[in-house]
């Protein structure tokens, strides 16, 4: 039996833009495997130190990369993380940077329980399009795409567009 080749997709962007929501639904619809890097790190204790300012553990990026390498080589992975510059560039066939309007993002993060500096810094991260710039530096510009992620219509459109892209990629590569 010949195994179909499937693409690896990176979903990135500021916390709260909707990566998890999109990634899980996309996985349901396409059969690709969804991986949340934050969860993976928690399960495997892939941390290296503690960030006093933000009161959170610091990701051990090298161990995360080692942990995922084999699965990434098999393909068919949807990776969700709010950073993107430490993954090997060769892992991903396409990179989506989700974007949310400031007020909308503020409200989402506030209802997630973010307050003070953590809330402000994350909203600023979105205003300064920090993750988009990080993605444009780390990957070929032509594979980096911004997706609006403000309302359920955006979510549906994104799901349809990415599903179609996956289908086309599989036709072209098998």
> What residues line the site for ligand DAT (CB under 6 A)?
13, 15-21, 108, 149, 151-152, 154-155
CB of 78 to ligand DAT, least distance (A): 12
Whether residue 112 is annotated as binding a ligand: the answer is: yes
Q: What values do phi and psi take at 149, rounded to 5?
A: -140, 65
Whether residue 18 is annotated as binding a ligand: the answer is: yes
Contact between 115 and 128 (Cβ < 8 Å): no
Whether residue 6 is annotated as binding a ligand: the answer is: no
Three-state helix/strand/coil letters over 1-16: CCCCCCCCEEEECCCC
Whether residue 171 is annotated as binding a ligand: the answer is: no
Residue nearest to ligand DAT (CB): 18
Tokens coding 143: 């594979």
CB of 174 to ligand DAT, least distance (A): 30
Whether residue 21 is annotated as binding a ligand: the answer is: yes
CB of 76 to ligand DAT, least distance (A): 20
Contact between 71 and 115 (Cβ < 8 Å): no
Residue 155 vs 166, nearer CB to ligand DAT: 155
Residue 67 vs 126, nearer CB to ligand DAT: 126
Q: Name the residue among 139, 25, 4 with its Cα closest to residue 75.
A: 4
The single-letter DSSP state of residue 150 is S
Residue at token pair 């809330």: 119
Residue 6 vs 19, nearer CB to ligand DAT: 19
- Give the CA dihedral 85, 91, 94, 98, nearest 10 degrees: -40
Whether residue 16 is annotated as binding a ligand: the answer is: yes
Residue 38 vs 57, nearer CB to ligand DAT: 38
Contact between 26 and 78 (Cβ < 8 Å): yes
CB of 8 to ligand DAT, least distance (A): 18
Annotated binding site: 16, 18-21, 112
Annotated binding site for ATP: 16, 18-21, 112
């Amino acid at each position: 039996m010949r195994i179909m080749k499937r693409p690896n997709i990176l979903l990135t962007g500021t916390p709260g833009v909707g990566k998890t929501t999109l990634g899980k639904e996309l996985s349901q619809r396409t059969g690709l495997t969804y991986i949340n890097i934050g969860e993976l790190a928690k399960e495997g204790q892939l941390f290296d130190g503690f960030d006093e300012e933000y009161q959170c553990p610091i990701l051990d990026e090298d161990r995360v990369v080692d942990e995922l390498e084999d699965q990434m080589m098999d393909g068919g992975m949807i990776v969700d993380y709010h950073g993107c510059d430490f993954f090997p560039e060769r892992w991903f066939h396409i990179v989506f940077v989700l974007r949310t309007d400031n007020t909308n993002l503020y409200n989402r993060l506030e209802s997630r329980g973010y307050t003070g500096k953590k809330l402000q810094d994350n909203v600023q991260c979105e205003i300064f399009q920090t993750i988009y710039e990080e993605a444009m530096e780390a990957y070929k510009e032509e594979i980096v795409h911004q997706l609006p992620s403000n309302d359920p219509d955006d979510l549906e459109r994104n799901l349809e567009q990415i599903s179609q892209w996956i289908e086309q990629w599989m036709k072209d590569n098998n």
